[in-house]
Chains A and B, each alone.
Chain A
């Protein structure tokens, strides 16, 4: 469903992403883990077709994102890092508009919007303007917008940012509920979140992929070393020459 092969991206001579390869199958929920500046958002932006890779190849549901970006976009749902939304629109109008941009007819729009409102608990804010909604609702609106096209691939950049613990729990359950048949990739810099939500972890540091393992394997390794998962991740980063100290 998601295939990334030898992808590079540089900004002003600095490698934001250096030669990364991985594949994500339908039904997998994979967590991009890494400190700020590790290149998580750059990778997701490349997968979403917002950025083009300098080298390498990305496929979304078998479609090359550079050769056919519109085809790839039609098959993916994307929640960007800062969750940009059309602030002045009412929530219903905003979601209807996004659904229309995905080529859905009136009947399909009504059906998908009703489903999204029910699944994500948006009924109470449908008539409100987006700018009047709380952070938690805004994240849900962004997620609903990403799901309107019933995508095969879902990309979520820091989806739990700004959510309270109960909302994080609800999001986790929601993602598990929609994961069958879908490849879900989400980013976070919080290990506990990644461990709780994902079945597999991709650890990023300074543009490179340090680790690609199932969450359960990582937990077993940490237990075998007599340390917790967090300490294990820190060791992996330090072995790769990275510093985990402030300053």
Chain B
């Protein structure tokens, strides 16, 4: 019998990521999802250029959270639901590798797909540069916010995909959760919740502590650049990402019980 070696955690995650990346493009669904998202985001921003005559990407970053409510679950439902449905979860979970490395690898592939969507909007930045002198630092912060918010919502979608063998159920659960976590940060929702329980400050509390929209908006709409106001919202979104990735790892392992 052969001596028994183990693939290190990072190499495992990387190998899984490469496999999942290739597998994603095996069906037309990933292409279609990415293409529709790129189209929606570009159309919104171009509308702002030509109708409002503003040389900025504000409309793109305003639309992105709503697009992500659908896009993140559409991409993230692949993380584990399909393996439960096709029974490949049994294959994954009997390989001599850590469940966390499998989940991380699959997640990184999803993050790669989402990054493709953001790359698909870069022609807008080039267009802005051709037309004038856009605020590049603010745009860079916007993209950082977009990446961090997308990463968090993908982790949430990935977590729900470990709980449902039906991709549609995973999609609906993730989309609902993403919507709630974003909506709680909306000023109108906060005001309604504050009004429902006067004096409790519930809406404001949830908006500040729980909602993801606040952290994203701090990044995207900050009037000027400084490291603290850039890093704090990124860390908040990163914490949410790590929390749900941990949950996804537990969820995937739970299927063994």
Q: Do A and B bind each other?
A: yes
Contacts from A to B (Cβ < 8 Å): 45, 48-52, 70-71, 73-75, 78, 80, 82, 84-89, 97-98, 100-104, 149-152, 181-182
Contact A88 B23 (CB under 8 A): yes
- Residues from chain B with Cβ under 8 Å of A97 in the complex: 15, 19
Cα(A177)–Cα(B89), bound, Å: 30
B250 to chain A, nearest CB (A): 14
- Residues from chain A with Cβ under 8 Å of B15 in the complex: 97, 100-101
Contacts from B to A (Cβ < 8 Å): 1-2, 4-7, 12, 15, 19, 22-23, 26-27, 86-91, 93-98, 256-257
Provide a sorted-by-A list of 29 A–B residue pairs whose CB atoms are within 8 angstroms: A49-B93, A49-B94, A49-B256, A50-B90, A50-B93, A50-B256, A73-B94, A73-B95, A73-B96, A75-B4, A80-B94, A82-B87, A84-B86, A84-B89, A84-B91, A85-B88, A85-B91, A88-B26, A89-B22, A98-B95, A100-B15, A101-B7, A101-B96, A102-B5, A102-B96, A103-B6, A103-B7, A149-B96, A152-B1
Task: Pick from B12, B27, B90: contact of A101, CB below 8 A.
Answer: B12
- Residues from chain B with Cβ under 8 Å of A50 in the complex: 90, 93-94, 256
- Residues from chain A with Cβ under 8 Å of B27 in the complex: 88
Cα(A173)–Cα(B36), bound, Å: 54
B interface majority secondary structure: loop
Cα(A97)–Cα(B98), bound, Å: 15
A interface majority secondary structure: loop
A126 to chain B, nearest CB (A): 17
Contact B86 A102 (CB under 8 A): no
Given contacts A84-B88, A89-B19, A89-B22, 20 further A-B contacts (CB under 8 A): A49-B93, A50-B256, A51-B256, A52-B257, A70-B6, A73-B94, A73-B95, A74-B5, A80-B87, A80-B90, A80-B91, A84-B90, A86-B88, A87-B86, A98-B95, A103-B7, A149-B2, A149-B96, A150-B1, A150-B2
Contact A101 B87 (CB under 8 A): no
- Residues from chain A with Cβ under 8 Å of B93 in the complex: 49-50
Cα(A220)–Cα(B226), bound, Å: 86
